[in-house]
Structure 1
Amino acid sequence: AIFLLGGIGVGAAAVALAQLADLAQYAFALLLAKSRYAVLAVTPLGFMLSAYMTLRLFPNAQGSGIPQAIAARQLTDQAARENLVSIRIAMGKMILTLFGLLCGGSVGREGPTVQVGASIMFALGRVSPRRQPGLILAGAAAGVAAAFNTPLAGIVFGIEEMSRAFETRTSSLIIAAVIAAGLTSLALAGNYAYFGSSAMTLSRGADWLAVPACGVVGGLAGGLFSRVVIAMARGFKSPLGRAIKGHPLWFAFACGLAVAICGLVSGDTIYGTGYVQVKEALDHGTPLPQEFGVLKLLATSFAAISGIPGGIFSPSLAVGAGIGSNIAAFFHDAPLGAIMLLGMVSYFAGVVQAPITAFVIVTEMTDNHGMVVPLMAAALIAHFVSRMICEEGIYHALAKGFVERATRPREGEGR
Structure 2
Amino acid sequence: MKLPRPFDTEFNAKVPSELIRPEDWSRRAATLVSAVLIALVAMGFAWAGDWANRLFTEVTNHSRWVHLVLTPAMFVGIAALTFRYAPQARGSGIPQVIAASRKPLRRTSRRLVSLRTALAKVVLTLGALLAGGSVGREGPTVQLGAAIMVQVHRFFRVPSTSGVYIAGGAAGVAAAFNTPLAGIAFAIEELAVAYEQRVAILVMGAVMISGLTSQGLAGNYVYFGQITGGLPLTSVLIAAPVAGVIGGMLGGAFSRSLLALRGPGGRFTARFGKKPLTTALVCGVIVGVLGFVTDGVTSGTGYEPTRMLLEGGAGEYWFGPAKFIAALATSASGIPGGIFAPSLAVGAGFGELLTPLFPADKAGIIVLIGMGGYFTGVVRAPLTAVIILSEATGTSSAILPLFATALIGDWAGGMVCRERLYHALAKGFAPVSAPAR
Q: Assess same fold via TM > 0.5.
A: yes
1:243 CA displacement: 4.4
Aligned pairs for 1:161-310 (under 5 A) are 161-203=190-232, 205-206=234-235, 208-234=237-263, 243-283=271-311, 285-310=312-337
Q: Which residue of 2 aligns with 1:8?
A: 36
AA aligned to 1:59 is: P
Once the two structures are TM-superposed, the CA of residue 288 in structure 1 deviates from its matched residue by 2.0
| 1:313-348: CA deviation from partner (whole Å, max 9, x where unpaired) | 111000000000001122221211011000111111
1:5-404 equivalent positions in 2, closer than 5 A: 5-126=33-154, 128=157, 130-203=159-232, 205-206=234-235, 208-234=237-263, 243-283=271-311, 285-403=312-430
Q: CA deviation at 1:208?
A: 3.5
Alignment partners' CA distance in 2, 1:241 and 1:401: 11
Asked if 2 retains the 8 angstrom alpha-carbon contact of 1:235 and 1:245, the reply is no
- The 1-side partners of 2:408 and 2:360 are apart by 23
Mark the CA change 1:195 to 1:242 in structure 2 (over 3 Å): closer, same or farther: closer
Change (3 A) 1:235 1:162: closer
Moved more, 72-81 or 339-348: 72-81
Question: What is the DSSP-based 3-state SS (H/G/I as helix, E as strand, rest coil) of the residue aligned with 1:154?
Answer: helix
**Which 10-residue stretch deviates more, 386-395 or 367-376?**
386-395
Q: Is the 8 A contact 1:100 1:310 kept in 2?
A: yes
Q: Distance in 2 between matches of 1:216 and 1:242?
A: 32
1:169 and 1:242 mapped to 2: Cα distance?
41
Secondary structure of residue in 1 paired with 2:65: helix
User: Secondary structure in 2 aligned to 1:369?
Assistant: coil
How many pairs were matched up? 406
Q: What's the CA shift for 1:166?
A: 4.4
In 2, are the aligned partners of 1:52 and 1:249 still within 8 Å (CA)? Answer: yes
Deviations 1:210-241 (A, max 9, x none): 11111011111110111111122236798x76
Render the CA deviation track for 1:140-173: whole Å, top value 9, x for unaligned.
0000000000000001101111111142111111
Give, in angstroms, the shift of residue 265 of structure 1. Answer: 2.6
Q: Distance in 1 between matches of 2:262 and 2:306?
A: 29
Q: What is the deviation of 1:264?
A: 2.3
Query: Is the CA contact 1:68–1:115 (under 8 Å) kept in the aligned structure 2?
Result: yes
Greater Cα radius of gyration, structure 1 or 2: 2
Q: Which runs of 5+ in 2 are unaligned?
A: 1-28
Aligned amino acid, residue 308 of structure 2: E
Moved more, 306-315 or 285-294: 285-294
Once the two structures are TM-superposed, the CA of residue 129 in structure 1 deviates from its matched residue by 6.5
When the two structures are superposed, what TM-score results if normalisation uses the length of structure 1? Answer: 0.94
Whole-Å Cα distance in 2 between the matches of residues 330 and 237 of structure 1?
Answer: 37
Alpha-carbon distance, 1:301 to partner: 0.2
Residues in 2 aligned to 1:98 and 1:194: alpha-carbon distance in whole angstroms: 20
Q: 1:187: Cα distance to partner?
A: 2.5
Q: 1:257 to 1:228 in 2, by over 3 A?
A: same
Task: Tell whether the 8 Å contact from 2:248 to 2:376 is kept in structure 1 after alignment.
Answer: yes
Contact 2:309 2:352 in 1 (8 A): no
Q: Which amino acid aligns with 1:254?
A: V
Alpha-carbon distance in 2 for matches of 1:46, 1:171: 41
Which residue identity is paired with 2:134?
S
Q: In proportion to residue count, which structure has more helix?
A: 1
Contact 1:287–1:336 (CA<8 Å) still a contact in 2? no
SS at match of 2:313: coil
* Paired AA for residue 382 in structure 2: P
Contact 1:266 1:291 in 2 (8 A): no
Cα distance change, pair 241–82 in 1 and its aligned pair in 2 (3 A): closer
Counterparts of 1:152 and 1:215, CA distance in 2: 23
- CA distance change for structure 1 residues 325 and 128 in 2, over 3 Å: closer, same or farther? same
Secondary structure, counterpart of 2:88 in structure 1:
coil
Any conservation in 2 of the 1:350–1:383 contact (CA below 8 Å)? Answer: yes
Cα deviation for residue 130 of structure 1 reads: 4.1
Give the aligned CA root-mean-square deviation in angstroms: 1.7
Whether contact under 8 Å (1:207, 1:331) holds in the other structure is no
> 2:402 corresponds to which letter in structure 1?
L
Any stretches of 5+ residues in structure 1 without a counterpart? none
